[in-house]
Amino acid sequence: MHTIRLIYTSDAREDLRYRDFITIMDTAAETNRERAITGILCYGGGQFLQALEGERLAVNALYHHIATDPRHSNCQVLSVEEISTRDFAEWSMKIVDWNDAVTAARQTVLLKHSGSRHFDPANMSGQQASAFLREVAAMERLLTD
Amino acid sequence: MHTIRLIYTSDAREDLRYRDFITIMDTAAETNRERAITGILCYGGGQFLQALEGERLAVNALYHHIATDPRHSNCQVLSVEEISTRDFAEWSMKIVDWNDAVTAARQTVLLKHSGSRHFDPANMSGQQASAFLREVAAMERLLTD
Amino acid sequence: MHTIRLIYTSDAREDLRYRDFITIMDTAAETNRERAITGILCYGGGQFLQALEGERLAVNALYHHIATDPRHSNCQVLSVEEISTRDFAEWSMKIVDWNDAVTAARQTVLLKHSGSRHFDPANMSGQQASAFLREVAAMERLLTD
Amino acid sequence: MHTIRLIYTSDAREDLRYRDFITIMDTAAETNRERAITGILCYGGGQFLQALEGERLAVNALYHHIATDPRHSNCQVLSVEEISTRDFAEWSMKIVDWNDAVTAARQTVLLKHSGSRHFDPANMSGQQASAFLREVAAMERLLTD
Amino acid sequence: MHTIRLIYTSDAREDLRYRDFITIMDTAAETNRERAITGILCYGGGQFLQALEGERLAVNALYHHIATDPRHSNCQVLSVEEISTRDFAEWSMKIVDWNDAVTAARQTVLLKHSGSRHFDPANMSGQQASAFLREVAAMERLLTD
Amino acid sequence: MHTIRLIYTSDAREDLRYRDFITIMDTAAETNRERAITGILCYGGGQFLQALEGERLAVNALYHHIATDPRHSNCQVLSVEEISTRDFAEWSMKIVDWNDAVTAARQTVLLKHSGSRHFDPANMSGQQASAFLREVAAMERLLTD
Amino acid sequence: MHTIRLIYTSDAREDLRYRDFITIMDTAAETNRERAITGILCYGGGQFLQALEGERLAVNALYHHIATDPRHSNCQVLSVEEISTRDFAEWSMKIVDWNDAVTAARQTVLLKHSGSRHFDPANMSGQQASAFLREVAAMERLLTD
Amino acid sequence: MHTIRLIYTSDAREDLRYRDFITIMDTAAETNRERAITGILCYGGGQFLQALEGERLAVNALYHHIATDPRHSNCQVLSVEEISTRDFAEWSMKIVDWNDAVTAARQTVLLKHSGSRHFDPANMSGQQASAFLREVAAMERLLTD
Amino acid sequence: MHTIRLIYTSDAREDLRYRDFITIMDTAAETNRERAITGILCYGGGQFLQALEGERLAVNALYHHIATDPRHSNCQVLSVEEISTRDFAEWSMKIVDWNDAVTAARQTVLLKHSGSRHFDPANMSGQQASAFLREVAAMERLLTD
Amino acid sequence: MHTIRLIYTSDAREDLRYRDFITIMDTAAETNRERAITGILCYGGGQFLQALEGERLAVNALYHHIATDPRHSNCQVLSVEEISTRDFAEWSMKIVDWNDAVTAARQTVLLKHSGSRHFDPANMSGQQASAFLREVAAMERLLTD
Ligand SMILES: Cc1cc2nc3c(=O)[nH]c(=O)nc-3n(C[C@H](O)[C@H](O)[C@H](O)COP(=O)(O)O)c2cc1C
Ligand SMILES: Cc1cc2nc3c(=O)[nH]c(=O)nc-3n(C[C@H](O)[C@H](O)[C@H](O)COP(=O)(O)O)c2cc1C
Ligand SMILES: Cc1cc2nc3c(=O)[nH]c(=O)nc-3n(C[C@H](O)[C@H](O)[C@H](O)COP(=O)(O)O)c2cc1C
Ligand SMILES: Cc1cc2nc3c(=O)[nH]c(=O)nc-3n(C[C@H](O)[C@H](O)[C@H](O)COP(=O)(O)O)c2cc1C
Ligand SMILES: Cc1cc2nc3c(=O)[nH]c(=O)nc-3n(C[C@H](O)[C@H](O)[C@H](O)COP(=O)(O)O)c2cc1C
Ligand SMILES: Cc1cc2nc3c(=O)[nH]c(=O)nc-3n(C[C@H](O)[C@H](O)[C@H](O)COP(=O)(O)O)c2cc1C
Ligand SMILES: Cc1cc2nc3c(=O)[nH]c(=O)nc-3n(C[C@H](O)[C@H](O)[C@H](O)COP(=O)(O)O)c2cc1C
Ligand SMILES: Cc1cc2nc3c(=O)[nH]c(=O)nc-3n(C[C@H](O)[C@H](O)[C@H](O)COP(=O)(O)O)c2cc1C
Ligand SMILES: Cc1cc2nc3c(=O)[nH]c(=O)nc-3n(C[C@H](O)[C@H](O)[C@H](O)COP(=O)(O)O)c2cc1C
Ligand SMILES: Cc1cc2nc3c(=O)[nH]c(=O)nc-3n(C[C@H](O)[C@H](O)[C@H](O)COP(=O)(O)O)c2cc1C
């Protein structure tokens, strides 16, 4: 059995509304728990950036399923690597809305790991995306402590 | 622009015939050349193992297109990594039929990089698959020299 | 003289009861102390995961003896390595029942080091098992401090 | 799936004769081929030293089966490690009789990797045994080229 | 997209006055923010030392534009490297006037990273300039905390 | 004194003719020799890719002079690093016309170090450009041996 | 001049009494101070384990002198290495009686660095002995702080 | 420009008195400040050990000047290395009289980095001298904090 | 069991004659073979330099026995290290008389690994002695090939 | 005893003639042999670059003696490092006249390790000078083979 982390980005459907977002969150939390998948999903500026961690077959099945979801398009895998420890083990799926509360701290985190002050994961390298998500997770952990 | 190498495996459709195989080869050779995609595709025991190298957007677009091809199913990405040099730069797509001529040398290469003497990429780690494909490429280069 | 750490997993006999478990604990604590063997044993979901540290001959003798114990079957060695420092030096055998108190913290530790939220060591790599046991030991040390 | 290499040593039954040896060889060659197990087995001075490479479940099953074989006793595992490439991929089981032809070259190989000029694997470290077997394999490859 | 950090030094126009300095600061703060460029600019002893971080095209365009600014001359690039994390992400452009308040602490920082106690970046290596700017930034962060 | 290597790319003026190219070559060969600058210049598909090695002041002076040459535009520095050994020490300026003789070998070299089969240095990373120029130089050395 | 650390073990004469022990201590403290030798000496279960640090000639002279002392026998050097910093610089000779107060903490330290819960340095590797003595020294420093 | 650190030792003139010492200190403090030279000078047991950091030309000029000073002889350079950060940036010349206050702590520092309890730099390796001076500097910083 | 390599130097008795030398050689060759000890012994300018490889107990017993041999004095151990491969496995004891045939090649080897053109092992570091003996062995292997 | 390599550069006296050069060579060859000093001396464009290898006291004594030789001035040490193997062991002093036969190959070697096509060691870093001298030595070895 191989444990992997897959990171991808995609374009959200333009008319996506808050309600859709809640639905995704609810589904993800439930089905991922069953499949022992953990991860984080950032949404902002019409793009998604998601990390999926878990057993290789399960992560691939989920990813190929998500990729056909009409609520987004242009899925682009940024990195897939075998891991022996997960980065987001405590969350079935941590969802971070990057649209609201675009504080200075958040802008700095974005700039630190990309070429832009806007959330634009399609222009991040796999390494940047991975470091960015780890730092976002660290911020979220601070908030909930 | 990011150059990546994506390696995946899949199950070939059971009734796939030699003619279909030729068709895939012809298409791949032509369209990959246009998109500056290079790689290698092994076929054997009802499974495919393919490496796609090129610009990240192009590789992702091609992969998601291939993944819906009815001639195979259960696509499973084994690794995606950013590279600065390609391993298969001289081939638009090198196709290696692992069914015929299963020589002792070929069996040894398989055993060397996996847990099985049969071509069974779904049970290889990303690292094993990558080393296996590099060694297969080296053998092919010797044959054509 | 060679000091080694051997990690194995096995399937507990289905009708194993709490009483048997206590018996194992008592025997292990006593005989290991005499043989200068230290380690940790996790039990959960019908599987065992045990690390045995000590002199190579003693560890092998004990392991081959345990392997024939009818209270479990399908012993599978995950790793054997020569060490110069032990990880579990303070315990003749630390026994951790992974069935009770499956707290969120414990689930996170499992997910962090495996592909599953259930205790399923037969699907861990040797590296995952070793890191998992070290983290379990760290948690136990916190509890008893 | 995990590919491992397990190295163990044991004491041969005193009355073991050449005929028994041939029988072991025949069985090993055949059953290992089916289970995709590869390796090398040295016999000398009343001791065995064997490396078994393959899928973790298969190697463990075979090892525990061999360990109960009355033709030897005191099996002692020297090392178990996960590998991505095998060292003995071309042999289902290469058998090397260390009793005959104890040439100077062979004695030097023994001394180079152990504390003794006699074949005495029970006193080798796991690292010594592994380097010794690799060098023995290299010598055998030269002979058959 | 490539994120780079470019460090250069130049000679300030001799009659440069405080007013000019303020103008540069105002322009830089505004236009850099739009272009997602971050960095730090030290001024002292008639020389500038500036680090520009951001997307490669944007940084180059800005640098070539700055290089023709009549308020300085003899621009000399000390280093250009691709980065995945920025050092000065929180500042569109941090401006540090090295003329006033040349405290002992500041002199020590200069000596630590150069051959001189005067601010003389044209004689720093790229590595020295980069370490110097990181230490200056750390001091500024302390002041504003 | 600091020895550096600066690599940049630019867009050739559209109406550039063979004659202009010869003129550049003649100037470069002569003035670089005087300034102890060495390097390589590739031309293809309307773009230049040039490496300049030498004393930091001299390389910067030359680069800023070249950058204003009307025969090209959009100069973009890809990397600047301090070196203790030069890669192109035997050439004042080696000029390689990538337009003619676009052999298969040359295409393979391009693909190997970039995302494209066309000479498109503006989309190479600094690391890719540097490895590409070293491999081009190696090919040229073979031709002239 | 070469600074070395020599670690050896030996068997104490059976009838050694506390008085002899005190005599050794007194001599060592005085003569080592004169020769700038530092170190630590553990005594337990009829064995000695001693580290001697200092100038190579002085350490060798002392060691060969000690080795003929009738109060112990079977001196066995475990390691000799050139060092640039000493581990026991603050003690002319720190003497630790491992017989009394064999606390649980002490047993754990022994187990951590050897195959046995008894003080049995003849079965430690050089690396284990060296790590063990450093940890013993750390414990002693805590006691005297 | 190259920044270096040069460490040398020498024999003080036998009749050197405290007054001479003060004179050296005064000169050093003043002229080093002008030349941007920093460092540390230990005096003890009739020997000097000095580290000089700064621009290569300046350090060499000063060293060759000092070497002819009749107040010492037998100058012996222990190491010269190019550095990008200085170790003693805050001191034009820190002078440490190793004769007075030869506390236990000081003796331990000496033993830790040399073969002797006396200040005898002529028998230190370059690496020992450099580590010794850094530890002396750390002690001095503690005293003046 | 621990395999070690011990390197020591000593002063030969002044009146040592060729006959004594032959006697040592004969004894060493025979007794070392029995004890599985291998090594090399250089003699020159009144000094010995010897490497002894083998099981730790055996090497120590032999060394302490040799150290009391009246044919030399002032034995000084230069290094003792645990090894997993021997450097001199093919020789029970290779004896090299450094007095005769002091060719230019031999002098160069001496200079390369020491501060002197004369054979003066008492002034070699452990690292120098070890590299010197390896190079001497390589020269001897060439002679006998 | 410490073996070091000291590299320095200096300005030759303007009226130095070939005869003086021969005299230096003769002296160096003889006295260095006695002191077990080895090295290489390049002369060109009015500058010297010399490496001196040997015992630390001897090298320092010689260097300080050479530094006062009126046939050159402005001695500047570029590096001093402790070594365990010498680079120029076969030459008491190899003298290379960089003035005559300034072949293209020689110019390339200079450019490769410095910022200039002229022999100008005062502008080399210690690392460049050391690599340059090693490459010069390699060329000389080829010539005399
Ligand atoms: C950006 C995005 C991320 C998603 N992440 C997950 C996820 O982590 N887990 C999940 O089960 N579904 C996720 N979904 C929803 C799936 O695409 C799908 O709707 C869901 O699995 C239910 O599938 P079903 O309707 O076929 O049962 C995501 C959808 C989007 C658009
Ligand atoms: C295993 C497998 C590998 C393939 N590899 C490629 C490939 O490398 N490039 C390619 O263009 N098509 C490849 N194809 C074919 C595509 O799936 C698809 O048929 C082809 O791109 C033509 O697409 P179109 O019919 O939509 O134009 C592959 C198909 C299979 C089953
Ligand atoms: C999962 C498991 C772990 C065990 N661990 C140990 C152990 O660490 N030490 C031990 O002495 N016995 C252990 N035992 C018990 C032994 O198998 C055996 O019962 C015990 O050594 C007594 O052996 P005896 O009845 O032959 O004297 C374990 C048994 C099981 C099922
Ligand atoms: C030292 C030794 C090594 C052996 N190696 C193998 C082996 O590699 N593969 C194998 O199938 N049997 C090996 N055997 C034989 C097995 O122990 C056993 O006899 C064989 O698998 C047939 O098992 P069965 O009689 O239960 O079918 C070995 C036996 C010994 C004594
Ligand atoms: C030393 C120095 C640093 C500068 N840094 C920046 C900068 O970081 N960003 C910026 O937009 N302008 C900077 N400028 C100002 C630009 O050169 C230019 O004046 C400014 O971009 C406005 O350009 P414009 O007048 O062509 O619109 C700098 C000027 C100098 C002299
Ligand atoms: C792509 C390109 C590369 C050039 N490379 C060099 C060069 O390496 N050295 C050089 O002296 N001139 C080079 N030149 C020419 C310079 O831009 C300039 O024309 C030349 O130095 C003469 O300058 P001058 O006319 O001001 O004397 C290059 C020009 C172009 C367009
Ligand atoms: C285990 C052991 C350790 C010793 N350690 C030292 C020591 O560190 N320094 C020392 O001077 N003597 C030490 N001695 C004592 C010496 O063997 C010897 O008695 C002492 O140096 C006095 O020698 P002398 O009687 O020949 O003067 C030690 C003795 C033993 C048995
Ligand atoms: C051990 C020692 C260290 C010295 N260190 C310095 C120093 O760091 N800086 C300095 O300027 N002079 C130092 N001096 C003093 C110089 O040798 C010299 O006296 C001083 O630079 C004044 O030179 P002048 O008399 O030629 O002007 C030192 C002298 C000695 C003996
Ligand atoms: C420099 C030197 C090296 C020696 N090397 C060995 C050796 O490697 N093996 C050995 O058995 N004896 C060696 N000897 C001889 C022993 O010291 C001793 O004479 C020999 O082991 C016979 O011991 P015995 O007379 O007590 O039986 C060496 C002697 C000297 C002086
Ligand atoms: C550049 C240069 C390099 C020299 N190299 C050496 C050398 O390597 N060895 C040497 O003995 N003398 C060398 N000398 C000559 C010494 O400076 C000095 O003349 C020589 O050692 C004789 O010294 P004496 O006249 O005091 O006996 C060199 C001189 C110069 C100018």
* pLDDT tens digits, one per residue of I66-105: 999 999 999 999 999 999 999 999 999 999 988 866 688 8
Contact B93, B41 (CB under 8 A): yes
Higher pLDDT, C111 or F17: C111
Work out the minimum CA distance from C7 to partner chain A, whole angstroms.
Answer: 17
Q: Which pLDDT band holds residue J100 (cuts at 50, 70, 90)?
A: low
Q: Please report which helix (H) or strand (E) contains residue B103, including its range.
A: none
> Which residues of D are less than 8 Å from B128 in CB distance?
3, 84-85
Higher pLDDT, F98 or C88: C88
Q: What is the pLDDT of residue D145?
A: 66
Least confident of B100-109, D113-122, H53-62, I44-53: B100-109
D59 lines ligand 4 (CB under 6 A): no
Q: Could I89 and D104 be called an inter-chain contact, meaning their C-beta atoms sit closer than 8 Å?
A: no
Handedness of CA D120, D124, D130, D136 (dihedral sign): negative
Contact C20, C70 (CB under 8 A): no
Ligand whose nearest atom lies closest to the CA of E53: 5
How many other CB atoms sit within 10 Å of the CB of residue H73? 12
Percent of chain D with pLDDT over 70: 97
Reduced to 3 states, what is the DSSP secondary structure of residue G110? helix
Place of tokens 């005087």: F34
J58 lines ligand 10 (CB under 6 A): no
Work out the minimum CA distance from J12 to partner chain H, whole angstroms.
Answer: 17
Higher pLDDT, A73 or C101: A73
J69 lines ligand 10 (CB under 6 A): yes
Contact J52, J59 (CB under 8 A): yes
Q: What is the pLDDT of residue H106?
A: 87
Q: Which pLDDT band holds residue A101 (cuts at 50, 70, 90)?
A: low
Please state, in angstroms and as integers, the Cα–Cα distance from residue B66 to each residue in A69, A74, C19, F116, I7, following that order. Answer: 17, 14, 57, 21, 65
Pocket test for ligand 5, best of E21, E65, E98 (most atoms within 8 A of CB): E65
Q: The tokens of B127 are what?
A: 């690292």
J26 lines ligand 10 (CB under 6 A): no
Q: Which pLDDT band holds residue J102 (cuts at 50, 70, 90)?
A: low
Residue among C108, C118, C125 minimizing CB distance to A84: C125
Reduced to 3 states, what is the DSSP secondary structure of residue J74? strand
> Which residues of C are less than 8 Å from A55 in CB distance?
115-116
Strand partners for A73: A11
Instruction: List Cβ neighbours of I19 (8 Å cut-off, separation of 6 or more).
Output: none
E28 lines ligand 5 (CB under 6 A): yes
Among B56, B84, B127, B130, the strongest candidate for a mutation testing the A interface, having the largest count of A CBs within 10 A, is B56
Q: Which of E61, E32, E63 lies closest to F73 in space, CA to CA? A: E61
Work out the minimum CA distance from F88 to partner chain B, whole angstroms.
Answer: 21
A99 lines ligand 1 (CB under 6 A): no
Ligand whose nearest atom lies closest to the CA of D48: 4
Query: Is it the case that residue C145 has pLDDT exceeding 80?
Result: no
Checking DSSP bridges between strand F94-97 and strand F38-44, what pairing results, if any? parallel
What is the tens place of the pLDDT at every residue in E127-136? 999 999 999 9
Reduced to 3 states, what is the DSSP secondary structure of residue C13? coil
Query: Is it the case that residue F105 has pLDDT exceeding 80?
Result: yes
Q: Which pLDDT band holds residue J134 (cuts at 50, 70, 90)?
A: very high
Instruction: List Cβ neighbours of B47 (8 Å cut-off, separation of 6 or more).
Output: B9, B10, B11, B12, B119, B120, B121, B122
Least confident of A16-20, G117-121, I23-27: A16-20
Q: Which of I136, I103, I98 lies closest to I120 in space, CA to CA? A: I98
H71 lines ligand 8 (CB under 6 A): yes
Fold of the CATH domain E3-144: Alpha-Beta Plaits (3.30.70)
> Which residues of C are less than 8 Å from A92 in CB distance?
none
Amino acid at the residue A85: T
What is the tens place of the pLDDT at every residue in B50-68? 999 999 999 999 999 999 9
A2 inside 8 A of chain B by CB: yes
Q: The tokens of F33 are what?
A: 């020799």
E127 inside 8 A of chain H by CB: yes
> Which residues of J are less than 8 Å from I124 in CB distance?
1
Cα torsion through H38, H40, H41, H45, rounded to 10: -170
Atom 27 of ligand 9, nearest CA residue: I27
> Which residues of A are less than 8 Å from E1 in CB distance?
115, 123
CATH number of G3-143: 3.30.70.100
Residue burial F47-69, b: 16+ Cβ < 10 Å; e: rest: bbbbbbbbbbbbbbbbbbebbee
| B 48-107 residues with CB < 8 A to F | 54-56, 58, 84-86, 89-90
Please state, in angstroms and as integers, the Cα–Cα distance from residue F117 to each residue in B32, E58, F104, following that order. Answer: 11, 26, 10
Residue among J57, J64, J80 minimizing CB distance to H80: J80
Comparing alpha-carbon positions, the chain F residue that sits nearest to E3 is: F125
Instruction: List Cβ neighbours of G49 (8 Å cut-off, separation of 6 or more).
Output: G7, G8, G9, G41, G42, G119, G121, G124, G129, G132, G133
Q: Which of G60, G65, G53 lies closest to G3 in space, CA to CA? A: G53
Query: Is it the case that residue G102 has pLDDT exceeding 80?
Result: no
F93 lines ligand 6 (CB under 6 A): yes
Q: Cα–Cα distance between A136 and H25 in angstroms, integer?
A: 54
Q: The tokens of I85 are what?
A: 């491969």
Checking DSSP bridges between strand C3-12 and strand C72-82, what pairing results, if any? antiparallel
Comparing alpha-carbon positions, the chain I residue that sits nearest to G58 is: I76
How far, in Å, from the CA of J130 to the mean position of ligand 9?
Answer: 45
Each residue's pLDDT tens digit in chain I (145 positions)?
Answer: 799 999 999 999 999 887 888 899 889 999 999 999 999 999 998 999 999 999 999 999 999 999 999 999 999 999 999 999 999 999 999 999 888 666 888 889 999 999 988 899 999 999 999 999 999 999 999 887 6
What is the tens place of the pLDDT at every residue in D54-94? 999 999 999 999 999 999 999 999 999 999 999 999 999 99
How far, in Å, from the CA of F1 to the mean position of ligand 8?
Answer: 28
